[in-house]
Amino acid sequence: MLDLFTKLESPLVPLIYLMERTGVRADKGKLAEIKLDLDKKLDQLKNSIYEAAGETFCINSPLQLKNLLYSKLRLHEQLTADELQNSGLTKAVKDQSTKQEVLMLMAPKHPLPAQVVAYRRLHRTISVCCVGYQEFVESDGRIRPVWDQRSAVTGRLYSSLPNLQGLPR
C-alpha cells in the first residue's frame, strides 16, 4: 500500500491542487442563454405531452403520470407477455412504475412515454447544468470544484461542489 501511495497517489496531489486552484471556465451569460433556449424546447415538449395525453397534468408527478398511463391509456395492457418477460420489468409494470425503463418499454405503444423520458432528461439538464452550475461560478468566471481521488471506488478522480461528472446524458 505504501508503494501505491508514494508512486501513484502522492504525485497527483500537486496536480489536483492546481486543478482546484485553476478551476473550469464557465460563462454565466452563455449558461443563461442556453437555459432560455432549453426552456423553450421544454415548453414545446410539454405541449406535445399534453396533446398526446389528451389533457394537462403535472408531468413531474409520478402519481398523475401513473394514473394517465395505467388507468386512462392502459398501456400496460398492450404489452405482451414476451415483452414483459424479456424486459425483466414484469414486477415494475405490475407495481405501475413510471421509471424510465418501464416508460421505454411502453414507448412503442404510444408517443407519451418517450416524450416524458425526453422531458425528464431535458428538465434535469436545465436544473443541473444551467441553473445548478450558476451558483458555483465565481467572480472570475470559473467553477472550482473539489477534486477527490479517494471517493470513487473505481479509483478515478471525483468532483464535488459541484459534481461536474454528473451531467445528464
Number of domains in the chain: 1
105 lies in a domain? yes
Angle at CA 98, nearest 5°, toward 93 and 99? 95
CATH number at residue 49: 1.20.1060.10
* 3-state percent breakdown (helix, strand, coil) of the chain, nearest 5: 65, 5, 30
pLDDT at 167: 67
34 lies in a domain? yes
Q: For residue 32, give the H/E element and its range.
A: helix 28-53
99 lies in a domain? yes
155 lies in a domain? no
89 lies in a domain? yes
Range of the domain at 60: 26-139
Which cell numbers in the block locate residue 125?
439538464
pLDDT at 62: 95
46 lies in a domain? yes
167 lies in a domain? no
129 lies in a domain? yes
Model's pTM, two decimal places? 0.82
Q: Please report, rounded to a whole number, the percentage of residues in the chain having pLDDT higher than 90.
A: 71
Which cell numbers in the block locate residue 147?
477534486
Confidence tier at 163 by pLDDT (50, 70, 90): confident
24 φ/ψ angles, rounded to the nearest 5 degrees: -120, 130
